[in-house]
Amino acid sequence: MDGVAPYVTADGRQIGGVLMDMRGITLRFGGVEAIKNISFDIREGEIRAIIGPNGAGKSSMLNVISGFYHPQDGEVWFRGEKRKPMKPYQVARLGIARTFQNIALFEGMSVLDNIMTGRLTHMKTGLLAQAIWKGRAEAEEVANREIVEKVIDFLEIQAIRKTPVGRLPYGLKKRVELARALAAEPKLLLLDEPMAGMNVEEKEDMSRFILDVNDEFGTTIALIEHDMGVVMDLSDRVVVMDYGRKIGDGTPDEVRNNQEVIDAYLGVAHE
Amino acid sequence: MSADFLYGIEVVLNGLMAGVLYALVALGFVLIFKASGIFNFAQGVMALFAALTLVGIMEGQVPFAHLINAVFGTNIHHFGWQVPAILAIFLTVLVMIAFAWAVQHFVFRHLVGQEPIILFMATIGLAYFLEGVGDLMWGSSIRTLALGLPQGGSLWVEEMTNGLGGDDFYGFFIDKLDMVATLVALVLVAGLVAFAQYTKQGRAMRAVADDHQAALSVGISLSYIWVLVWSLAGIVALVAGVMWGAKSGVQFSLSLIALKALPVLMLGGFTSIPGAIVGGMIIGVGEKLFEYTIGAPYLGGATENWFAYMLALVFLVFRPQGLFGERIIERV
Ligand SMILES: Nc1ncnc2c1ncn2[C@@H]1O[C@H](COP(=O)(O)OP(=O)(O)OP(=O)(O)O)[C@@H](O)[C@H]1O
Ligand SMILES: [Mg+2]
């Protein structure tokens, strides 16, 4: 693995120190061990991919990071501090935003409203204060709207701003979900299969957005993806999981030439 | 216009106003159901409890007087002061918020992820518990609510309209209290809608009603929102309790208005605020009109006791999701 010293990538992006450090994570569901003693880190500014065959435990790992699952064993370190067990909403307030493999949007609300919910962690005016100082609440709303509009422009979804999300096709829903996560201006962005079920063109768009987010805002990104081509193109480093174990960790090139990884993907029998 | 027809209209108007109260109670149900999937059997008792608390505070009654006297051998019942209505209403709202917090903290926090039927059972327990607490706090006698709301037929309406229908028609008879109730309900609903649409908590509330997982992921605390909706339902219960109580006294039967909200919900759908309002109106008008045109002349009257349920049943057969409820499609 690379050292922890900051460095600049070939395409000129700044990679900093360790942002998120997973240490010896073990997660069980009854008898099933979804994650077996896995350690890996995510460095500031990088795009980190998590790959592996179906049921490898990738989504479970993302759920541990975002507080939806609580590991039986192991430690989660964020920005140099050991994190106590947290609820998902608390994790979100730390500046960790996410999307879901099966899309979790507010189907009954408009695209704009959905994205606005991404700003909730930034809204400070309390319930009473909103009633008393109407002006302050309005100013806050306006400031948040501006950021949301920027995100909308950035992801090129101006045309559907007022559309109820329930009516959108799948590919656009994925994009709105990304927009909602971006609106939170997260330190760390977790994407669970952002391109699953998309056609080639949609995948290209999504890849471009992910690269641009990382490049322009310096957002650290951890993403799960099945499409190898995409993973190799996007990511700085890759963690490979198989049956809950970590079987590879390194740059795309290193991982590609790792025999255990090759075996897992070719379906070589496990001893 | 014939007098019969005009009296028909009067019946409709009165039905609309009765419907407002049904709608208010139903609204309390919908708020909680939408946000948490809990069907709150205690909504009616909450209305009773809120009204009792309001009367108790206004009259300067000592809460838990019986208990205190029994334990300490004292004999106190009143503080000896009267609390102005506005202040009493404010204090009662605080009590309802405390109740909402307690419900979340002591009951539902421990039942997250349970089957709906278990949550429902918990609210039945809650209903009887709250009834007991209300009894213990404020006693069980029938109370009159002296908020100074206008009551009796509105002469003004009668005079304005008596020219409409010739000699047999004496103008519309409309209870002033009903008019006030309608006005208050309108303000309340407008306030709720504005809250849901324009405040950050309102947006969070809608988000939770839509998708729990997504709501968590954007940093919304579900338990905070649940305390919020129970508080709102408590405030709605207070308004319903006050209106109903001003009409027929604050007494146990008040908690039974919850049963009238059931057909309203079947009609309007359990998740729709407009549904609760329109459903309330339809039930209110429907039962008055049925009584006027068919019930009283042909069926010996008193059809208001069962008409709402029958209407809801017929409705249920043809449109189970209610007027505005989301269509339930089972995906296989
Ligand atoms: N909530 C849960 N309850 C019980 N078992 C679970 C739960 N979530 C995941 N699992 C199990 O954990 C294992 C890993 O699942 P996970 O969803 O993390 O895999 P994945 O790598 O994301 O797979 P895919 O590529 O199909 O999305 C599977 O055996 C799965 O059945
Ligand atoms: Mg997965």
- The residue ranges of every structural domain in chain A are 1-86+219-271
Asked if residue B234 lies in contact with residue B16, where contact means CB atoms within 8 angstroms, the answer is no
Residues A130, B200: C-beta atoms closer than 8 Å: yes
- End-to-end, the C-alpha distance of chain B in Å comes to 57
So where are chain B's domains? 3-318
Q: Percent of chain B at pLDDT above 70?
A: 96
Nearest to A117 among B207, B213, B222 (CB): B207
- Residue A49, strand partner residues: A223, A238
Q: What is the pLDDT of residue A2?
A: 46
- The whole-number average pLDDT for the span B134-155 is 80
How close is the Cα of A101 to the center of ligand 2, in Å? 6
How close is the Cα of B252 to the center of ligand 1, in Å? 52
SS3 of B140-202: the string is: CCCECCCCCCCCCECHHHHHHHCCCCCCCCCCCCCEHHHHHHHHHHHHHHHHHHHHHHHCHHH
Q: What is the pLDDT of residue B331?
A: 52
Calpha distance B153→B170 (Å, rounded): 12
A68 chain-B contacts, CB cut-off 8 A: 213, 216
Residues A107, B206: C-beta atoms closer than 8 Å: no
Which residues place a Cβ less than 5 A from the ion ligand 2?
A 59, 101
**Probe target for ligand 1 pocket from A29, A72, A100, with the most ligand atoms within 8 Å of CB:** A29
Nearest to A118 among B200, B216, B218 (CB): B218
A127 chain-B contacts, CB cut-off 8 A: 199, 201
Nearest to A104 among B209, B217, B219 (CB): B217
Residues A120, B219: C-beta atoms closer than 8 Å: yes
**Of A210-219, B25-34, B140-149, B257-266, the least confident:** B140-149
In DSSP notation, A33-44 reads: EEEEEEEEEEET
Residues B217, A97: C-beta atoms closer than 8 Å: yes
**Of A123-137, B5-19, B236-250, B308-322, the least confident:** A123-137
Contacts with B105 (C-beta within 8 Å, 6 or more apart), sequence order: none
Give the pocket of ligand 1 (CB within 6 Å).
Answer: A 29, 32, 34, 52, 54-60, 101
Nearest-Cα distance to chain A for B284, in Å, is 29
Q: What is the pLDDT of residue A212?
A: 95
SS3 of B249-265: the string is: CECHHHHHHHHHHHHHH
Contacts with B134 (C-beta within 8 Å, 6 or more apart), sequence order: B45, B48, B49, B52, B53
Q: What is the pLDDT of residue B259?
A: 81
Calpha distance B285→B291 (Å, rounded): 10
pLDDT, tens digit (0-9, with 9 covering 90-100), for A137-181: 788 888 999 999 999 999 999 999 999 999 999 999 999 999 999
Q: What is the pLDDT of residue A3?
A: 55
Residues A89, B204: C-beta atoms closer than 8 Å: no
Contacts with B74 (C-beta within 8 Å, 6 or more apart), sequence order: B68
In DSSP notation, B70-95 reads: HHH-----B-S----HHHHHHHHHHH
Calpha distance B235→A168 (Å, rounded): 37
Query: CB-hemisphere CA count at 13 Å for B190?
Result: 6
- Tell me which residues of chain B, numbers 190 to 249, contact chain A at a CB-CB cutoff of 8 Å: 199-201, 203-204, 206-207, 209-211, 213-222
- Tell me which residues of chain A, numbers 181 to 240, contact chain B at a CB-CB cutoff of 8 Å: 184
pLDDT, tens digit (0-9, with 9 covering 90-100), for B90-99: 999 999 999 9
How close is the Cα of A265 to the center of ligand 1, in Å? 18
Residues A127, B201: C-beta atoms closer than 8 Å: yes
Calpha distance B212→B2 (Å, rounded): 56
Tell me whether A174 touches chain B (CB under 8 Å): no
H/E stretch holding B131 = helix B116-138
- Joined together, the tokens standing for residue B92 give 């009662």
Q: What is the pLDDT of residue A1?
A: 44
Q: What is the pLDDT of residue B273?
A: 86
Q: What is the pLDDT of residue B47?
A: 92
pLDDT, tens digit (0-9, with 9 covering 90-100), for B174-226: 788 888 888 888 899 899 988 888 888 999 999 999 999 999 999 999 999 99
For the domain A1-86+219-271, what is the CATH superfamily, name and number?
Answer: P-loop containing nucleotide triphosphate hydrolases (3.40.50.300)
Asked if residue B28 lies in contact with residue B111, where contact means CB atoms within 8 angstroms, the answer is no
- Residue A26, strand partner residues: A73
Q: What is the pLDDT of residue B270?
A: 85
Q: Whose CA is nearest to atom 9 of ligand 1?
A: A60
Asked if residue B226 lies in contact with residue B104, where contact means CB atoms within 8 angstroms, the answer is yes
Report the mean per-residue pLDDT for chain B: 87
A90 chain-B contacts, CB cut-off 8 A: 219
Calpha distance B38→B230 (Å, rounded): 11
A92 chain-B contacts, CB cut-off 8 A: 216-219
Q: Percent of chain B at pLDDT above 90?
A: 38
Contacts with B11 (C-beta within 8 Å, 6 or more apart), sequence order: B288, B289, B292
A-B CB pairs within 8 A amount to: 77
Q: Which residues of chain A have pLDDT under 50?
A: 1-2, 271
Calpha distance B119→B97 (Å, rounded): 20
Asked if residue B117 lies in contact with residue B125, where contact means CB atoms within 8 angstroms, the answer is no
Mutate to test the interface with B, among A86, A89, A130, A165 (most CBs of B within 10 A): A89
Mutate to test the interface with B, among A98, A120, A136, A182 (most CBs of B within 10 A): A120
**Sign of dihedral through CA atoms A115, A121, A127, A130?**
negative
Q: How far is CA B310 from CA A15, B216, B256, B317, in A?
A: 69, 41, 18, 11
A33 Cα distance to chain centroid: 23
Dihedral angle, C-alpha B180, B185, B191, B193, nearest 10 °: -150
pLDDT, tens digit (0-9, with 9 covering 90-100), for A219-231: 999 999 988 888 9
Nearest to A238 by CA among A102, A42, A66: A42
Tell me whether B71 touches chain A (CB under 8 Å): no
Calpha distance B198→B193 (Å, rounded): 8
Tell me whether A134 touches chain B (CB under 8 Å): no
Asked if residue A171 lies in contact with residue A113, where contact means CB atoms within 8 angstroms, the answer is no
Residues B204, A120: C-beta atoms closer than 8 Å: yes
Ligand 1 nearest-atom number relative to CA A56: 21
Q: How far is CA B46 from CA A69, A130, A165, A166, in A?
A: 36, 27, 36, 35
**Probe target for ligand 1 pocket from A25, A54, A59, A225, with the most ligand atoms within 8 Å of CB:** A59
Residue A56, phi then psi, degrees to nearest 5: -70, -25
Ligand 1 nearest-atom number relative to CA A244: 14
Ligand 1 nearest-atom number relative to CA A60: 18
A112 chain-B contacts, CB cut-off 8 A: none
Calpha distance B264→B282 (Å, rounded): 8
Q: What is the pLDDT of residue A177?
A: 97
Q: What is the pLDDT of residue B103?
A: 96
Asked if residue A46 lies in contact with residue A72, where contact means CB atoms within 8 angstroms, the answer is no
Can you state the percent helix, strand and coil of chain A, rounding each to 5?
40, 25, 35
